[in-house]
Amino acid sequence: MTPVPIRYGARPCSLVVCRGCCCGDPRKNPGMDHAGQLARVRAAAAASGGRLLVRTSDCLGPCAQANVLVVQPSTEGRRRGGRAAWIGWSADDDCLDEVLAWTEAGGPGVSPPPATLALQMIDPPKN
């Protein structure tokens, strides 16, 4: 029997939103609309026509830089050398505007991040 190669569909850019012990917690970041932020990224994904996926995570790890987002490249972005971008201190609307604009432009590997967003990029936690 000849094995049949498995062909996977192209994966869009995805956004992982931390909602663990610190991120999304009004006790850590009072005055921020954490639920509104999540609703906004979900609305952007719904409006993207499948070009953006959104997931939540219980905890991504770097709690000192809450709120944390991870922008993962699409299949095309990864093919072009893009890697996941970890973004800290992302609770404000300006940061979210830039994240959503970057994902709309293609995200890692397809489009360079806005310069101010690059300043918020953090190292992923070491395992």
Q: What is the pLDDT of residue 6?
A: 45
pLDDT, average across residues 31-48: 90
Strand order in the sheet with 69-72: 52-57, 13-18, 69-72, 85-87, 121-122
Asked whether the bond before 67 is cis by omega within 30 degrees of 0, the reply is yes
Phi and psi at residue 42, to the nearest 5°: -65, -40
Q: What is the pLDDT of residue 1?
A: 53
Q: What is the pLDDT of residue 107?
A: 95
pLDDT digits (tens, 9 = 90+) for 71-91: 999 999 999 999 999 999 988
Q: What is the pLDDT of residue 112?
A: 96
What pTM, to 2 d.p., does this model score?
0.87
Q: Distance between CA 42 and CA 48 in Å, rounded?
A: 10
Q: What is the pLDDT of residue 74?
A: 95
- Residue 125 pLDDT > 80: yes
Q: Are 76 and 109 in contact (CB under 8 A)?
A: yes
Summary mean pLDDT of the chain: 88
Q: Distance between CA 124 and CA 47 in Å, rounded?
A: 29
pLDDT, average across residues 43-68: 91
Q: Which helix (H) or strand (E) holds 85?
A: strand 85-87
pLDDT, average across residues 24-45: 86
Q: What is the pLDDT of residue 26?
A: 78
